[in-house]
Structure 1
Amino acid sequence: MKYVSTRGLRNLGGFSDVLLMGLAPDGGLAMPERIPAFAPAELESLRGLEYSELAYAVMQPFIDDIPEADLRRMLQATYHPDVFHSNDITPLTRLGDSGLYLLELSNGPSLAFKDIAMQFLGQVFEYVLERRDEHLNILGATSGDTGSAAEYAMLGKARVNVFMLSPHGRMSAFQQAQMFSIHEPNIFNITVQGVFDDCQDLVKEVNSDAGFKARHSIGAVNSINWARVLAQAVYYFKAYFALNLPAGQQADFSVPSGNFGNVFAGYLAKRMGLPIGQLVVASNENDVLHEFFSTGVYRVRKAAQVAQTSSPSMDIGKASNFERYLYLVAGADGVQIRAWWAEVGESRAVDLSDSSHWDAVQASGLVGGRSSHGDRLNTIRRADQRFGRLIDPHTADGLLVGERYARAGVPMVCLETALPAKFEETVREAVSRTPPRPARFEGIEAQPRYFTALENDVAALKAFVVKKLG
């Protein structure tokens, strides 16, 4: 399988090449030159597979530059009950006698769905770097969960350093403690004055400096990394098969989304032949995605327009992986993507509402909705009272919007994105009690914190990276 850029550059190489690449040289995102699809009979043959075996079946067509035995070994080491505290890895739970289901994605080391992909990245980074005798310096941005998931996955990886940017004071107390309590020689936490989009822009600025990127072996671990999207597609297959539906019957999925990586993985699964009907894109008050799926206008927000909310991991005004979705909607037309992104660069918006591409968007099965702080509190409270299930505020966004789009006779699978312990303050406001946390995280907020505060300045960031690398 060869990879190309969403903005038209061809021949990016194979899976191992784009794994280490981050952004493509033309500023686009890596995509496979084609998306293999399972025939109905092939799809049925995947039922009943253990998670690591299912992951191999779904991912291998995109990773043909790693020998089968090595890929299977890495997947078995990644998707193990000792890592995810469950034999099912991603258990599916029906909520009462409703048509709603909760896909549990938060049983990993950092208690967030990002672990599902990030633990694989830790394995495959180490493998590829060893084979190539290379080192990688990961530069990433986080709005809350990516940072800790990446850092937990890269602990002890001798060939990988992690430089993780986060918006100063914009994460929950638990999220901050989880990241900043890590004191390892290959982990560097950096807080930036601003919002997540400012952090993301700094990462993109560094990546756009080809000379600096090459000299310092800069790579990416954010959801712009194709390996993360690919690994996340697996749990859509796992959830679908766990529903035990007749062959070919549709299921819907509701996905809390800020940067669009999680829901794009579902769209990838759908393009691979999984019978997904609706993919519900759930936003909080930062509703750039809701606006697009309602009107056809994608209008990015300036930093000052990004609200600080009680589902902070979705406080994002520009959805990086949205480019991959538009690329597929446009028929893999890199020239069109470049033109649209030029419009976004000039006016901060692109309008598809009067174009044939809007028909393709509407046919894709993606729909959007938004939630507010009051909605989240009410949804957390209702889930607790009605189903005996405590959920975090991001999952509440997904559950609320998923309920709005639920269809009679069609299961609606709502993706759990984090354990409620990561957002104690909001959960406590909703149900008047503190959610339980795993024993290994007791007292984490009182631990020493290790991070560096930087201004929102790419020169300062580059200087910091160079200094730490010696």
Structure 2
Amino acid sequence: MNYISTRDASRTPARFTDILLGGLAPDGGLYLPAEYPQLSDEQLTAWRGLLAERGYAALAAEVLKLFVDDIPAADLEAIAARAYTTPKFADEDIVPVTRLEDNLWIGHLSEGPTAAFKDMAMQLLGELFEYELARRDETLNILGATSGDTGSSAEYAMRGRQGIRVFMLTPAGRMTPFQQAQMFGLDDPNIFNIALDGVFDDCQDVVKAVSADAGYKREHRIGAVNSINWARLMAQIVYYISSWIRVTENNDEKVSFSVPTGNFGDICAGHIARQMGLPIDRLIVATNENDVLDEFFRTGDYRPRTSAETMATSSPSMDISRASNFERFIFDLLGRDADRTAQFFGVDVKGDGFSLADDPAFPTAADTFGFASGRSTHADRLATITDVWERLGVMIDPHTADGVHVARGWADEVDTPIICLETALPVKFAETIEEATGRQPEVPERFRDILDADRHVTDLPNDAETVKKFITDSIRTTDVTADR
């Protein structure tokens, strides 16, 4: 399996373990498989039995083998077994699926150590990183940005691992108290929290700016855990397959997915699963008031907002106006035309957006790739949380409420079951839950004392050079190779 950059017309091949540690391509593009593996009916039938008999980790290993041929199969099985286990995940199914109402289901992605769907990929990523670094006798300095959940999931997956440091940028004051406590409460010597003076898009821009400095990136061994890293999407493909298996009985049955999204990573994994031949009908993009993606799928116009225009909402993990993974989908939409993709997303592009409204490619966004979209507001998510709690006895978080609200809007036009992918447990967004229901969400026992921990975080200005200096100084003063 070779990988190519979305901006490289020459299609220079790269291997999985190289892009695992590198993150972005040298040209600033995002990696994708040169060709998507295709699923056969026999394979899907075998996986049904595998999931039932041996569980999620065994299924994950088989999916990984489709994309990774430079790690021995037995090692991939061991890596998946370490990543997806209880009590690390609270449910033995790892990703249980339950019916919410009528034809609407919930895929529970928040059973992991930080109660967020990001755990599904991060736990695997931590195992892959440590495995490959030990094999190469190297170290890695992970630089990431988070709007709330990626940071804690990454830090909990990487804390204490040999050969790894994590530098995580957060938008100052933009996360909930629980999210801040999860991250800033960690006191591991290989974890560095940075509160940047800006919004998430600013944090993401700094990550890209540092990664684009090829000399600095090479010298300081900079890697990525944000969904720009292909391994994140590879891990997420697994739960699309497992969720489809749990809701259907036969291979000719299709399902749809409603996915709350800001950075387009979660639903991009669904896009890839669909391109592989998984029987998916619709991929429903659910946005909040920061509705750049909904606008694109309705009109063909992609108009990223400025930091000042990006609203702070009650589903803060989706307060994103420039979705990194959108480039991967546009690359496929344009027939994998790297030159055109680079014209829209390249390092010299201002980032003002583009329009495909009159482009022959745009109608295929729905017809060929199955996308639909919708938008949710604060009032919508409050009403949805209230209704689902009072009428159905189920508590959902604000982001999942966005997904449920948009899914309900499409229910009359979609004939297949719709699985709404849960984003996080309600405890992470207690203020909004109380506003909607008049009660505090249940606090799982493992998070009982989390708000009482001391905070460990460094405030920095929105400046890539300042961040680079902080990273350099921190590398000099911490040793992560002990006991190697």
Q: TM-score by structure 1 length?
A: 0.98
Residue number in structure 2 paired with 1:439: 445
Residue number in structure 1 paired with 2:128: 124
Residue number in structure 1 paired with 2:226: 222
Residue number in structure 1 paired with 2:473: 467
Aligned pairs for 1:59-458 (under 5 A) are 59-96=64-101, 98-341=102-345, 345-346=349-350, 348-363=352-367, 364-406=369-411, 407=413, 409-458=415-464
C-alpha contact (below 8 Å) 2:143/2:223 kept by paired residues: yes
For 2:449 and 2:115, the matched residues in 1 are separated by 16
For 2:348 and 2:41, the matched residues in 1 are separated by 39
- Root mean square deviation, CA, Å: 1.3
Unaligned runs of 5+ in 1: none
C-alpha contact (below 8 Å) 2:345/2:351 kept by paired residues: no
For 2:469 and 2:149, the matched residues in 1 are separated by 26
How big is the shift at 1:359?
2.3
How big is the shift at 1:57?
2.0
Q: Evaluate the alpha carbon distance shift between residue 343 and residue 17 of structure 1 in structure 2; reply closer, same or farther with a 3 A threshold.
A: closer
Query: Which AA in structure 1 matches 2:469?
Result: A
Query: Which AA in structure 1 matches 2:62?
Result: A
SS at match of 2:115: coil
For 1:200 and 1:232, the matched residues in 2 are separated by 21
Query: Which AA in structure 2 matches 1:21?
Result: G
SS at match of 1:11: coil
For 1:127 and 1:249, the matched residues in 2 are separated by 38
For 2:415 and 2:308, the matched residues in 1 are separated by 43
SS at match of 2:256: strand
For 2:212 and 2:351, the matched residues in 1 are separated by 21
Unaligned runs of 5+ in 2: 477-484
Query: Cα deviation per residue 1:181-234 (whole Å; 9 max; x = unaligned)?
Result: 001110000000110000000000001100000000000000111000000010
For 2:151 and 2:385, the matched residues in 1 are separated by 25
Q: Evaluate the alpha carbon distance shift between residue 379 and residue 126 of structure 1 in structure 2; reply closer, same or farther with a 3 A threshold.
A: same
For 1:430 and 1:48, the matched residues in 2 are separated by 41
For 1:355 and 1:245, the matched residues in 2 are separated by 39
For 1:441 and 1:389, the matched residues in 2 are separated by 20
Residue number in structure 1 paired with 2:480: none
For 1:48 and 1:231, the matched residues in 2 are separated by 20
C-alpha contact (below 8 Å) 1:12/1:24 kept by paired residues: no
Q: Evaluate the alpha carbon distance shift between residue 408 and residue 325 of structure 1 in structure 2; reply closer, same or farther with a 3 A threshold.
A: closer
For 2:17 and 2:346, the matched residues in 1 are separated by 30
Q: Evaluate the alpha carbon distance shift between residue 409 and residue 292 of structure 1 in structure 2; reply closer, same or farther with a 3 A threshold.
A: closer
Query: Cα deviation per residue 1:145-166 (whole Å; 9 max; x = unaligned)?
Result: 0000000000111110000000
> Identity across aligned pairs (percent)?
51
Residue number in structure 2 paired with 1:26: 27
Query: Which AA in structure 2 matches 1:172?
Result: T
How big is the shift at 1:48?
2.9
For 1:393 and 1:345, the matched residues in 2 are separated by 34
C-alpha contact (below 8 Å) 1:12/1:30 kept by paired residues: no
How big is the shift at 1:329?
1.2
For 1:59 and 1:387, the matched residues in 2 are separated by 37
Q: Evaluate the alpha carbon distance shift between residue 422 and residue 354 of structure 1 in structure 2; reply closer, same or farther with a 3 A threshold.
A: same
SS at match of 1:46: helix
Query: Cα deviation per residue 1:308-329 (whole Å; 9 max; x = unaligned)?
Result: 0000000001000000011111
C-alpha contact (below 8 Å) 1:121/1:227 kept by paired residues: yes
Query: Which AA in structure 1 matches 2:4?
Result: V
Query: Which AA in structure 1 matches 2:221?
Result: S
Residue number in structure 1 paired with 2:4: 4
How big is the shift at 1:443?
3.1
C-alpha contact (below 8 Å) 2:434/2:440 kept by paired residues: yes
Query: Which AA in structure 1 matches 2:468?
Result: K
SS at match of 1:188: strand
C-alpha contact (below 8 Å) 1:167/1:191 kept by paired residues: yes
For 1:255 and 1:25, the matched residues in 2 are separated by 30
Residue number in structure 2 paired with 1:55: 60
For 1:298 and 1:159, the matched residues in 2 are separated by 40
How big is the shift at 1:330?
1.3
SS at match of 1:47: helix
How big is the shift at 1:408?
5.8
C-alpha contact (below 8 Å) 2:144/2:167 kept by paired residues: yes
Moved more, 399-408 or 281-290: 399-408
SS at match of 1:265: helix
